């Protein structure tokens, strides 16, 4: 079985054989069994070393978290902060992962070790200044191919100026002062943004933790304050219909 795993590694460049691997179901089951055998102390040190030499992943979920953490570190090195936009077409998987870390911490499903590691790189857990928690981060100039054009048509967006600071702008009329200052400071670059619905919607608030209520927005004009506060805290729009 070790030889079959080595052949798999040579072909696929990794050891993460799916449990339901159709080309070799026995190998998939065997790989899963080795993880269990190590947990119960049924693998010898020599067997563990042999598997380690092939790059064996003892906990696939840990491996995936580490890979996403490195992607976040790369993002921070490039942009100077960890606030990956919720709707970021360059890497939607990373955007979703960042939101999940915030959610997992709120639900007490994130380990203390992972919280500390994210803290060490300046991760912002609640991008909302409420008088108690104020976290800011320096923003660097994006590279040339990351430019976002100033909207020419009416297209309402929430631009993230900094941690916990959003400004709404639809591309027509005078640009808000804080957004104009950001653009000047960053050589014409617009900050990350959240696009707003282009139709009337009912935002749903409070679901899952208190009695829900809805807030109507007609698709034009300023967002209701409750919605803006939600975005500042969660980094995304609340559910809507």
Q: Where are the domains of the chain?
A: 2-58, 59-197
Q: Residue 214: beta bridge partners?
A: 204
Q: Which residues of the chain register pLDDT less than 70? A: 60-61, 87, 126-154, 163-164, 186-189, 206-211
What tokens appear for 61 in the block? Answer: 């979920």
- Looking at residue 43, its pLDDT comes to 92
- Looking at residue 5, its pLDDT comes to 93
Q: pTM here?
A: 0.40
Please tell me the chain's helix, strand, coil percentages from 3-state DSSP, rounded to the nearest 5: 40, 10, 50
d(CA 164, CA 135): 8
Q: Residue 205: beta bridge partners?
A: 213
- Looking at residue 128, its pLDDT comes to 40
- Looking at residue 214, its pLDDT comes to 84
- Looking at residue 14, its pLDDT comes to 76
- Looking at residue 163, its pLDDT comes to 61
Q: Helix or strand or coil: residue 15?
A: coil
What tokens appear for 29 in the block? Answer: 């089951």
The alpha carbon of residue 79 and the mean position of all alpha carbons in its chain are separated, in whole angstroms, by: 15
- Looking at residue 145, its pLDDT comes to 35
- Looking at residue 188, its pLDDT comes to 66
Q: Helix or strand or coil: residue 71?
A: helix
């Amino acid at each position: 079985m070790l030889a079959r795993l080595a052949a798999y590694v040579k072909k696929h460049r990794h050891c993460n054989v799916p449990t339901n691997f159709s080309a070799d179901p026995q190998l998939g089951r065997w790989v899963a069994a080795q993880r269990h055998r190590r947990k119960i102390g049924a693998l010898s040190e020599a067997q563990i070393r042999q598997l380690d030499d092939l790059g064996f992943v003892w906990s696939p979920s840990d491996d995936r978290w580490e890979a996403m953490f490195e992607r976040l570190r790369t993002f921070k090195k490039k942009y100077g902060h960890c606030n990956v936009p919720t709707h970021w077409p360059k890497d939607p998987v990373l955007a979703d992962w960042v939101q999940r870390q915030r959610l997992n911490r709120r639900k007490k499903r994130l380990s203390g070790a992972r919280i500390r590691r994210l803290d060490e790189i300046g991760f912002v857990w609640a991008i909302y200044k409420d008088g108690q928690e104020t976290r800011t981060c320096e923003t660097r100039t994006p590279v040339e191919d990351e430019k976002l054009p100033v909207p020419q048509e009416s297209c309402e967006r929430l631009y993230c100026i900094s941690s916990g600071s959003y400004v709404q702008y639809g591309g027509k009329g005078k640009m808000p002062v804080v957004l104009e200052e950001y653009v000047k400071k960053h050589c014409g670059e617009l900050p990350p943004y959240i696009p707003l619905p282009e139709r009337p919607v009912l935002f749903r608030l409070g679901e899952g933790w208190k009695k829900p209520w809805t807030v109507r927005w007609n698709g034009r004009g300023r967002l209701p304050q409750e919605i803006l506060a939600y975005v500042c805290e969660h980094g995304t729009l609340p559910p809507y219909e």
